[in-house]
Amino acid sequence: MIDARGLICPMPVVMVQKEVKKNAPDQLDVLVDDRCAVENITRYAKNSGYQVETSEDGCEFKLMLRK
């Protein structure tokens, strides 16, 4: 689980990128609280071969990246 709440782009995507490059996980959950970060992580994840599901809870978003 990556907690990128309170961080503005590009930091959330950089965190996801580091994890993907380092461990290439089959599944990865990411918490963010910025819609721009949701869009950017989704775009990066799809380009990296992941499917992305997003759930919204108030001001927070949980992205579930799956191979």
Partner 1 sequence: MKKENIIVILTGILVGLAALVLTALGNPANMGFCIACFERDIAGALGLHAAAKVQYVRPEIIGLVLGAFIMAIASKEYRAKAGSSPATRFVLGALVMIGALAFLGCPLRMIIRLGGGDLNALVALFGFVVGIFVGTIFVKKGFTLKRNYEVSKVEGSILPAVMLILGVLVLAVPALFKFSEEGPGSKHAPFWIALAIALVVGAMAQKSRLCMVGGVRDTMLFGDAHLLYGFIAIFVTIVIGNLCLSKFHLGFTGQPVAHSSHVWNFLGMVLCGWGSVLLGGCPLRQLILAGSGNGDSAVTVFGMITGAALAHNFGLAGNADPGLNEAGEYIVGGISKNGKFAVIGGLVIVLIISLINSKKEAKEA
- List the one residue out of 66, 56, 61 whose CA is nearest residue 30: 61
Q: Which of 31, 33, 52, 54 binds partner 1 (CB under 8 A)?
A: 33
Q: How many residues bind partner 1 (CB under 8 A)?
A: 20
Single-letter amino acid code for the residue at 39: E
**Spatial CB neighbours of 6, under 8 Å, sequence gap ≥ 6:** 33
Q: Which is nearer to partner 1, 9 or 64 (CB)?
A: 9
Q: Which strand (E) or helix (H) includes residue 33?
A: none
* Cα 12 from Cα 5, distance rounded (Å): 8
Query: Has 9 been annotated as catalytic?
Result: yes
CB 31 → partner 1: shortest distance, Å? 12
Binding site for partner 1 (CB under 8 A): 5-11, 13-14, 17, 33-36, 39-40, 43-44, 47, 59
Residues taking part in catalysis: 9
